[in-house]
Amino acid sequence: MLASDRQVAPGLRPRLRDLPAGVPPRALAALASLALLFGCGEGQKQQVVLPPPKVTVARPVQRTIVDHDEYVGRFVPVESVEIRARVSGYLAKVHFQDGQYVKQGDILFTIDKRPFQNTFDQAAANLETAKSNLAFAEADLARGQQLMRERTISEQLFQQRAQYFRNAQAAVAANEAMLRQAGLDLEFTELKAPVSGRIGDRRVTVGNLVTGGTGATTLLATIVSLDPIRVEFTFDEASLLRYGRLANRRQKDSAGLTTVRLKLIDELEFSHEGRIDFVDNVIDRATGTIRGRAEFSNADGLFTPGMFARVQLPASDPYQALLLPDSAIGTEQSRKYVLVVSADNTVVQRYVTLGDLADRLRVIKAGLAADDRVIVNGLIQARLGAKVAPQEQPAFPQAQAPAPAAVSE
């Protein structure tokens, strides 16, 4: 028993003495060893102190930016024309390939000219007859005037000759008009492109009867202009007032000098620049919105009428703002916050007000100072009120890219 007592911890000796008599010494030694192991493990666990977690911190990026509004718009052509014949006849020839680019004045369709050529020739012959009759009536009237002075014909006969002369003049004028109309009909057998642009597919093939005129005419094809091209979009009444006051502060006309940017559905940046050239004069009473229109260059033919795009309009004056990546911003119910490392390396929570994205960084409108050290990596290890080991990050990768123009003056 005395040997076993020396092998156990001092705090356990009273308990071992209280064991009943007759316990084998080997059993007492095993119990003492287990008690000693457990006692040493608890002592070592209490002595371990973990170092503060490492986090990456960075200061907000300072930049002069402009707030923007975004709208969904649709491309529309500046000029759109339906090709219809002005005269009826059988289609003789098609001079274009479906979908090709045509220039103003190019011949697109030809209607059989032979009937119209015959009508033109007949009108020209009738005009020559009328002119011959006019010459005879003019000479006869001149003779009548001489005879009238000599008192050899009556007044009634002279008036008849004068009337015949006037009728001959009217006949010449009528035949000249008929000849001009026949010439127009003959000219209309060649259908030319009224505007430059891309033509669609032919709706009628060679040999079919084409109905022309001003009634139920035959649609042959359509042409839409491509360069420049327009984008139409709508915005609400509050936005209209904001844009108007912003334009007044800049002493510019908001209907003609506001620069806008655009991106397509497969693009990440608003890389196309244009200008608003029209704002409607009435707000739609049903929707409370007003229609706006911007014009863009389309020299490479990238934009197609009917295509959707997102339009970005400047919505504020330039101002100084702080920017952070979205990964550094947390959400607490409806509020946004960031974790800031104080001067003594303690984690502090700051509630912030967010703005738009600029160069893939989020604008912080309120709640943050320019010299704050914001945790941008290691948010999971950081705990409010706990110490951390901050490692400074020089700059955000997104901030190194060139910033787009804030607004064109």
Question: Alpha helices of 62-219 — where are they, by DSSP H?
Answer: 114-149, 155-188
CB 265 within 8 A of CB 281: no
Q: Is the pTM of this model over 0.85?
A: no
All CATH 2.40.50.100 domain ranges of the chain, comma separated, are 84-224
Q: Which is it for the CA torsion 351, 356, 360, 365, positive or negative?
A: negative
Every domain range in the chain assigned CATH 2.40.30.170: 68-77+227-314
* Residue entry with tokens 């505007």: 195
Return the pLDDT at 146: 79
φ, ψ of residue 124 to 5 degrees: the values are: -65, -40
pLDDT tens track, the chain, 409 positions: 444 444 444 444 445 455 555 556 665 566 566 555 555 555 455 556 778 888 888 888 888 888 888 899 999 999 999 999 999 999 999 999 999 999 999 999 999 999 999 999 999 999 999 999 999 888 888 888 878 777 777 778 878 888 888 999 999 999 999 999 999 999 999 999 999 999 999 999 999 999 988 888 999 999 999 989 999 999 999 888 888 888 877 765 444 457 889 999 988 888 899 998 889 989 999 999 999 999 999 988 899 999 999 999 888 888 888 888 888 888 888 888 989 888 888 888 889 888 888 778 888 888 888 888 888 888 888 888 888 888 887 766 555 444 444 333 3
Ramachandran region of residue 197, left (φ > 0), alpha (ψ -120 to 50) or beta?
left
State how far Cα 300 lies from the chain centre: 16
d(CA 179, CA 125): 9
- How confident is the model at residue 366, as a pLDDT? 84
In three-state secondary structure terms, 18 is coil
As annotated, the residues of the chain forming the CATH 2.40.420.20 domain(s) are 55-65+318-400
What is the CATH number that goes with domain 55-65+318-400?
Answer: 2.40.420.20
Topology (CATH) of 84-224: OB fold (Dihydrolipoamide Acetyltransferase, E2P) (2.40.50)
Nearest Cα to Cα of residue 308 among 265, 279, 276? 265
Q: Name the residue among 269, 268, 249, 267 with its Cα closest to residue 258.
A: 249
Q: What's the fold here for domain 68-77+227-314?
A: Elongation Factor Tu (Ef-tu); domain 3 (2.40.30)
Which of 203, 199, 256 shows the shortest CA–CA distance to 226? 199
Measured CA to CA, the distance from residue 79 to residue 230 in angstroms comes to 10
Q: Whose CA is closest to 193, among 82, 300, 111?
A: 82
